[in-house]
Amino acid sequence: MTMITLLTDFGTRDGYVGVMRGVIWGIAPEVRVADLSHEIGAQNVLEAALTLGRSFHFFPAGTIHLAVIDPGVGTSRRPIAAAIGPYYFVGPDNGLFTPMLERAEAINWAVKVVKLDQPRYWLPEVSKSFHGRDIFAPVAAHLAAGVPLESLGTLIDDYVRLRIPRPVKTGQGWHSQVIQVDHFGNLATNLEKDMLLSQSVDIWINSQRISRLVQAYGDAKAGELVAMFDSANHLSICVVNSSAAELLKASAGDAVEVIYRKKTGQL
């Protein structure tokens, strides 16, 4: 029983996502379809890549992740499908799958990418502006129905890679940045737990210092500004039961300085 996930910047008002489900179920009626998000910022490939990067591995092996954030639709940008470790990915060749490719390199997963060039696996008519419906949904459905990746297109290895912002070591700690503002206003940075030599740190964002790193929201009082490691093990800045994004007027891309505290007596 295969699963397909959907990740787009389409919103949910116009019926575009529903139509993709219709196309999928017309080809592979048994497949389970889960929405990952349809509220990615319009044309924000990086946001989509990061969302997929922190989510894809919680799905069963064999899951097909279909992502359509596609500012180049209708141009010469290539449609692709990929097998990365035990997962499949389908979407435009614009860097969307970079976090998974990086993970594959880190843990030695096999990677295979094909340029989609077999129109017999697409809808009969292909529009210039909705390849999610006309190319990507049918290709994902055919994959789910058992068509091998190699039959869907031609192997390539010059697929587009995105520059994912990485934290940079400084003399005193790390220079990192906000990579996600979530629904609760929590600010996730790109600094991961195991990068820190010590958790005795001061954290600076938008001229505000945060000195308290807690284990859980409940360790602080409602309204308190704290840092903690989030459910993806990233350093995150939060206001308990409220929005750090609002309090700090912060957004994705904002700089976050993390500075190791000197030991007492070293002053």
Number of helices (H), then strands (E), belonging to the chain: the values are 7, 15
Binding residue for a second copy (CB under 8 A) from 105, 117, 150, 219? 219
In angstroms, the Cα distances linking 157 to 104, 154, 163 are 14, 10, 17
N- to C-terminal Cα distance for the chain?
62
Angstrom distance (rounded) from CA 80 to CA 109: 19
The stretches of 31-189 forming alpha helices (DSSP H) are 45-53, 98-107, 131, 137-144, 149-152
Note whether 94 binds a second copy by CB under 8 A. Answer: no
Site string for a second copy, 127-156 (x = CB under 8 A): xxxx--xx----------------------
Establish if 215 lies at the interface with a second copy (CB under 8 A). Answer: yes
Q: Is 184 in the site for a second copy (CB under 8 A)?
A: yes
Q: CA–CA separation, 234 vs 61, rounded Å? A: 24
Alpha-carbon span 189 to 115, nearest angstrom: 33
Site string for a second copy, 7-36 (x = CB under 8 A): x--xxxxxxxxxx-xxx-xx--xx-xxxxx
Q: Can residue 199 be called a binding residue for a second copy (CB under 8 A)?
A: no
Residues 33-62 that bind a second copy (CB under 8 A): 33-40, 42-43, 51-52, 54-55, 58-60
Nearer Cβ to a second copy (7/248): 7
Residue 12 or 154 having the CB closest to a second copy: 12
In the three-class reduction of DSSP (H, G, I as helix; E, B as strand; rest coil), residue 27 is classed as helix
Residue 32, strand partner residues = 3
Residues of this chain that bind a second copy (CB under 8 A): 1, 3, 5, 7, 10-19, 21-23, 25-26, 29-30, 32-40, 42-43, 51-52, 54-55, 58-60, 63, 71-77, 127-130, 133-134, 180, 182-184, 215-219, 228-231, 233, 241
